[in-house]
Structures are given as C-alpha cells and as structure tokens.
Structure 1
Amino acid sequence: MNIQRAQDIYASKEMISVHLDGKPVWIEHVDVDNGMATVQLGSSPTNTHTVGVERLEEQGH
C-alpha cells in the first residue's frame, strides 16, 4: 500500500479491510513524513505496532 491510500483509508468513514502479514488491523495513525502507520491488531487497543505502509494490504483490491 502507498502512503496516500493509507491516509485515505484512515480518513474514510467506510470500514475498509486492511491486513498486516495476513492479520486484520485498524489504522490508528499515518506518519506521512516517514511512510509509517500505527495499526491496532485485533480488538485490543493496547496491541499496536508501527510499521511501514508498504507492509499493509487492502483486502478486496
């Protein structure tokens, strides 16, 4: 995924399925300057990771 698409998904009111290493995640924050995104894994709000947006995959596209 590219940084622009990550921003679009983060800003969207729609529920867009995004996966990291085959696991569903929620985008919590996008760091445009560094090409990174903070994502929440599963349903635990404390289970977050910051990863390069290129590791994120939009499902259904």
Structure 2
Amino acid sequence: MDEQRAQEIAHSPDMKHVTHEGTPIYIQHVDEAEGTARIFPLEQPEEEQSVSVDNLVEH
C-alpha cells in the first residue's frame, strides 16, 4: 500500500479491511515522511506498533 492510500484509510469514517502480515489491523496514524503507519490488531488494541506502509494490504 502507498502512504497516500494509508492516510485516506486512517482519516476515513468507514472501517476498511486492512491487514498486516495476515492480521486485521486499524491504522491510527501515517507518517508519510518515514513511510510508516502506527497500527494495532483489531483483536489486541493494546499491541500498538509502527510498521512500514509497504507491509499493509487492503482487501
């Protein structure tokens, strides 16, 4: 996924189906300069992490 699309999803009021390494996630914030996104698994909101936007997949 590219940074622009990740940013659109992060700001969208609608929930989009996005995964990171096969796990459904929620995108909290996108850092376009770094190419990273702050995410957490939908089933484990306490497990926040920063990952490369390239590793996110929209379904």
Shift of 1:2: 0.1
How many residues align structurally? Answer: 59
RMSD: 0.9
Equivalence for 1:14: 14
Following TM superposition, the consecutive aligned residue runs of length 4 or more in structure 1 with deviations greater than 6 angstroms are none
Structure 2: state its 5+ residue gaps: none
* Distance change in 2, residues 1:20/1:9 (3 Å): same
Query: What is the TM-score with the length of structure 2 in the denominator?
Result: 0.92
Shift of 1:36: 0.2
- Identity value in percent: 37
Query: What is the TM-score with the length of structure 1 in the denominator?
Result: 0.89
